[in-house]
Every structure is written in structure tokens, then in C-alpha cells.
Structure 1
């Protein structure tokens, strides 16, 4: 029997609405709280900012795009680097300007179209940069998995917990179906937490002391701190928005194909990008990590054929409410680093692999010297930790430098191929589906 579709502006029956919204919450939960846990930010604030950011996104896109926004993995390394320079307050300023860049790009796209952005960021540039994001975090995952966070020395117990967590996450990813197949990261974290508890690695004192209703530790400009600009943090964080812009376009293309509507044309890519930027700016005003559209939730939309923006909005409201439940926030903070290290081994590897998949899906020929040079230079500069020291306080490093050099190489080396406009890609895909249906 054909699965019933719930359309974009359809409101489900209240009991079904709640269940479907909670399903979306679980799909994004593990990854959204992982980013703040890895970077030293508040998971409760991340939940609140992701919920508010998603609601703003739905308003800006006129309730036409069923997308959930959560913590962006692309910003993990920049946030970690920024924390060492200017603390969480400095990171929030960098995040604000990253969101502002989204807004500027959205305005340009509205009046000039999107082809220029696709030419600036073709798969041969974005694919290797995404690989750098994943592989650059490999050391972080292994350190968390192998080392005791107190002594910072190798610990067999911690590594065993990490490997147990990783094993359960892999099993859940490969063998679980239906609803449980959508939340393998959350299942892995719960299983790893249980293993860690049996090994005495969990301290629940913070949960017992926490109130049920408790405001998150917001970081608010002019309230909890006085903003100050740092060129170094600016140059570390803002260029990463260039990469996430390309990921955003890819998500919109996939979502368009899943739902059967051309979201690139209506409500328009400029609106969805602007909504993404506003979500990141909201997050920067609260103390959360930058937000981005979530592939996990697009997967839920595709699998369930529930396209309703009201279901997405319900998940967003629930995330905000979760952020104010003190015992939930405290429980999240008790998750051992070994557990997070275990799931991170898989997650960071998947990020790197998705960059490779982008190049394969777009039929990038690495046999061509031009493509081989661009990808090789991006990978070594990004993973190797190369940087340019502008002055005492300003440094262009890592992913930011790799992205900039990749763009320059793509624009200057001969033999650059024409990149198709997203509208053309979507239209050709639609016609292909129509032919197959006929």
C-alpha cells in the first residue's frame, strides 16, 4: 500500500503531530548537542538556539520549506580555535559575522541569481574542503576516545567505552530499521553512557542538584559581556560560511527532489540562505554554535513522506522547551568524553566520506591534472595545519586558508568546466522523473 503523504502546509491530527515532531527532535538531537559538547559551549543553549533558528527560518521561507536547522559540524574546529583566542564571547562575534555573510550572499543572489556562487564553489573545491572538515577533526575524536580527560594520559577503560559506543552506533546504523534507524547516534550515545556508567565513569551529582526548570547559560551581548572585534577570529570563522553555503544549496536541491517542489525557485534560494543566516545570528546572540540545515531531518522527511512545516515547527518548539529543562541539560553534561569520542570517530569519518561522495556524485575526474592539483593542495593545507601569519594578532589558518586557496586555484587554473545552474539541475531531474513515471 502506498504511503500517505502529509503535504507542506497540512496540519496533522494532534496526536500524530506530537509524535512526528518528537521524531524530528530525536533525529537532530545527538548531532546538535555533540557540537557544543566538543567545543565547550552549552548544549541547552544549542537546543534553544536551534529551535528558535528553525522557527525564524520557517517564517522567512514563508512556511514553504520543511527543513530543520541544527548545530553545524563545519564550525567545530573554528570554534575550538576561536575559544582559545577570545573565549566563547569572541566566538559569538565570529558567528555573528558568518551569519551576516549569509545575508549578504542572499541579497546578491536575489538580484543576480545563483550561478556565480556555483562557479565559485564547484564540487572540486567544496568536496575536498568537506573532507578537510572531517579529517581535521580525526585527532580530536581519537584523543577523546583514548585519553582520560583528567590525566590526559592513555586509558584502556576509556578506549574500551569508546569502542563499545562506536560498535553499537555502527550496528544501529546498519541493522536498525524504521524509527530506530533514524536515530543511530542517539542510540549509540545512550548505549555508551550505560557502558560508561558500569565502569564508574559517570557522576550524576549534577543531575540530582539541577532544578527541573532552569534557564540555560546564555551568552548575550551587552548583557553578559561587552562585544569586542577580533580579526583573527573573523578570519578563522567567516570563510567557513562559504563552505556551508554550498552545503545549504545541496540540501535545498535534495529537499526539492524529495518533496517535488522547486524550492530554489519558490520561495527562492535567497530566502532559504537568508533564513539560515538569521538562524546563525540568533544563535550568536544567545551563545550557541552556528546553525545549518540538517541532512538527518531531510532523511526523516524523505523516509516518512511527512512534508508538513507544522511538524518541523513542533520539533523546534519542543527543542526550545527541552533547553529549559535543567535536569535534561545536566544529564547531557555528564556524558563522558569517551562516549562522545566513540560516536565522533564515525561522524567525522562520515563527514570526510561525504566530501568524497560529493565529487563522485558530480563525476569529478581526479585523473585530470587540474582537479588533482586543486584537491591535493586543499587536503594537505587544510589537514596539515598550514597558516599565514598576517601580523601578531591575525592568522589565516586551516580550513579557512584551504578554502581560499582552493577557490583561487579553481578560478585561475585553465580548463575550468561550466557548472550547471541549480534551476537547470532540478528541472532536468523533474523531467527525468516524469519520463520514468510515464
Structure 2
């Protein structure tokens, strides 16, 4: 990480990190980042049942906190994390809101502890704990475990119970998916950055013509209103559930690994070594503080967004002021009642259509990590680790000690990540010659 040659700038920026945009351009440049993050950021609360307005506000304030903690040196936008969708959905079915939000708060605290450990001892221990052969399959599990959710939303009127197959839903979902894929694959420039937004808009218009949109909630909503957020001791009673916390901790290690990958890409795009200044520890701590704040108002955990990194690469505008402007707009949108009502009125097949692509991309990105890292699957060791992670995660194996009087349950993705970490530590390294 100290090799400065890898951070040499290859393209001259239009606006560097500390450059201020012209006032006439500022709002437009920030709106680009807002569009890039919007589809994914609102999809997470849409799926989990958390308030959309709290997710927008958490995204905006979380990004501003990240900018503050990283000394306004890293142009990164933070949005809702997909890695926590399944644990939140399953957790809210079997635990109270207070249990879940405090567990998410503790996952943010875990980020901070990892950041402090990196500051004191470097990153070698983390790379030993989370090599690509562990992280890649876990990322695949994150995407594949969400596949039934996306498909059920695309088919059923009651997706939770898989009841009420509706051909209109399937048509809307497939049109939404097709438009998103076409924009992603064939459009150029700014439009290529917002395929999810264009896909959702197209699906929404089609749904309106087919009578699937209920406009009454939009008409009843006020233009300006206090956002729907969950405040501790007012809207929920915080409670400490060790089993739920232990479900989230392994996921934190995976998202931290993803964070490091994003940071490497930003380093290359901007041409600066952010691992050294302001430091990887500050970046991870900033992510953790953002997640802790989000949990306090009922929002999903945050993560740096690859979509916004793509905006940096295409526009060559790295200004922290532009990122901060996008965060401020996101906060304002959380106070516009008609806007949140509009988002809430999006039919489930529309979100199901884009989710088929988004969740598939998550799974494929895990496979891509294995390929790019040259993970050798002629090695039985690597084959065993990946196989166990995939089957435990996708099969949703549950480790439950309630029967022996201990309140502890770890399942699915979290158990898969934990199993992968343990196997990686205990299985001996072997060469091809020994097999």
C-alpha cells in the first residue's frame, strides 16, 4: 500500500478533491451522484420494511459524517448496504425492532474496532482473516440468498407468502428488467450511470397504465413533513440481543473487505493514496459511525457505493463539495412527504424486476473476485472452503442453542462467513504436488 507508483494520476481531473464547482453547476453535478445512488439506496428499505425517509436521511448525514471523519479528503458517497438485507428481514420476523436496531448499531461499532486495530497493527491480519477464497463465496451467498425475494416480488401479489400469482406482475417485472439491462449495456454518458432509476421509472409508468399504482397516498401526503424515523425510547425500546449481534459480526468483516476494495478503486481513479492520508482506519471508522447513526433513526447500515465511484471515473470530477451537495439533497428529500409517498407507491414487481439484476450482479461480483484474484480451485483446500460457504449460506443452515438454554442463533450468510473464516484459519496450505 505504500508503493506510490500505483497511485500516479493518469487523467487530469476537471475538479480535484478540494476544488469548488461553480455555483451554476453545483446542483447539477451533485444531482448526478444522487441519481446514481438513489435506486439501490431506497431498494433496501423497500425490501426490509424500514422507512424510506430514514434511509435517505441516514445516507445524507452518514456521508457528511464520513467526510468529516476522513478530513474531507476522500470523495466517497455512502448508501444503504445490500449485505444486511437478509439478516434484517429475518431478524425483524423473529426479534423486536429494538433488538434489530441495536444489533445494527453494534455492527457499526465493530467497524470502529476494526479501524482502530488497523491503525495500531496494519492490515495484514485482516487480509489473513479474509482472503478472496472466503470473501468471494460469501459475496456470492449475499446475492444468491436474495434471489427468491426478487423472483417472488416479480410474480406474486403477496410475495412474503408466495400467494396470488399475477401475470401482470411478471410482465411489469420483465419490462423493468429489460429496460434496465438495455440502459446498462447500450447507453452512453450520464444515462449509463442511472440504469436502475430509468428502469424503475419505466416500470412505474407501465404499472400506472395497468392500474397497479395506488395514487391516493401521494395525494394525501404533504409536501413538507417531518420524516418517518425511529427514535430510541420514543419509537422503540433498545434491547441487547447477543444472538442477533453475533449474526451481524461476520457480515461486518465481509463488508469491510468490500470497503477496502472500493477504496483501492478510488485511489486509482483519483490518483492519491488514501490508505496513507487520511488513512484506511479513518475511512473504515467513518463507515462505522455512519452505520451507527443510521441505526439510531431506523435506517439500514451504510457502505461506500460503487455506483458513485463510477460517476467519479466517468465525469473526472472528484470534488468533495459535489459529494457533500448530493448528501444535502438526499437529506432534503427525506422531508418532502410527497416524494417519499411516491417512492412508497412503486409496485413490488417493479422493484422485483430491478432486483433480479442487482442481486445477480452481487453474486457475479463475488465470482469476479475469485477470478481476478486467481484463486486456485485445483487446490482441495480452496475447493472445500468455497463449497462449505456456498451450501451453508444458500441452504440457510441454522445453528440454534435455544434448546440447551442458551439464547443464540446464527444462520445462513452469517454462519457461512464464520465457517469460511474458521476453515481458512485451520486448514493447512497445500501445494498441487501434495494433492
TM-score of the alignment, normalized to the shorter chain, above 0.5: yes
- Whether the aligned pair in 2 keeps the contact of 1:82 and 1:236 (CA below 8 Å) is no
**For 1:396, what is the secondary structure of its paired residue?**
strand
Structure 1 position 402 matched with structure 2 position 425: no
Q: 1:362 aligns with which of 355, 373, 397?
A: 373
Aligned counterparts of 2:249 and 2:211: Cα–Cα separation in 1: 41
Q: How many residues align?
A: 416
Name the residue aligned to 1:423. Answer: none
- Offset from partner CA, 1:110-143 (integer Å, 9 cap, x none): 1111111011001000000000000000000110
Q: Trace 1:13-412 onto structure 2 (pairs within 5 A).
A: 13-149=22-158, 152-392=163-403, 393-412=407-426
- State the 1:153 CA deviation: 1.9
Quote how far apart the aligned CAs of 1:203 are: 0.4
| Mapped contact 2:132–2:375 kept (Cα < 8 A) | yes
1:145 shift after superposition: 0.4
Where does the alignment leave 5 or more consecutive residues of structure 1 unmatched?
Answer: 418-438
Matched position secondary structure for 2:278: helix
Tell whether the 8 Å contact from 2:379 to 2:430 is kept in structure 1 after alignment.
no
Distance (whole Å) between structure 2 residues aligned to residue 132 and residue 376 of structure 1:
11
Moved over 3 A (4+): none
Aligned partners of 2:186 and 2:270: how far apart in 1? 26
TM, length-normalised to structure 1: 0.93
Which is worse superposed, 343-352 or 86-95?
86-95
Q: Taking structure 2 as the reference length, what is the TM-score of the superposition? A: 0.94
User: Aligned to 1:148, what secondary structure does the other structure show?
Assistant: strand
Note the C-alpha offset of 1:30.
Answer: 0.3
User: 5+ residue gaps in structure 2?
Assistant: 1-10
2:21 is paired with a residue whose SS is coil
Q: Is the 8 A contact 2:244 2:410 kept in 1?
A: no
Does 2:22 align with 1:9? no
**Matched residues in 2 for 1:224 and 1:389: separation?**
30
Work out whether residues 132 and 352 of structure 1, in 8 Å CA contact, stay in contact via their aligned partners in 2: yes
Match of 1:432 in 2: none
RMSD: 1.3
Which residue number corresponds to residue 6 of structure 2?
A: none
1:397-430 Cα deviation digits (max 9, x unpaired): 001100011001111111179xxxxxxxxxxxxx
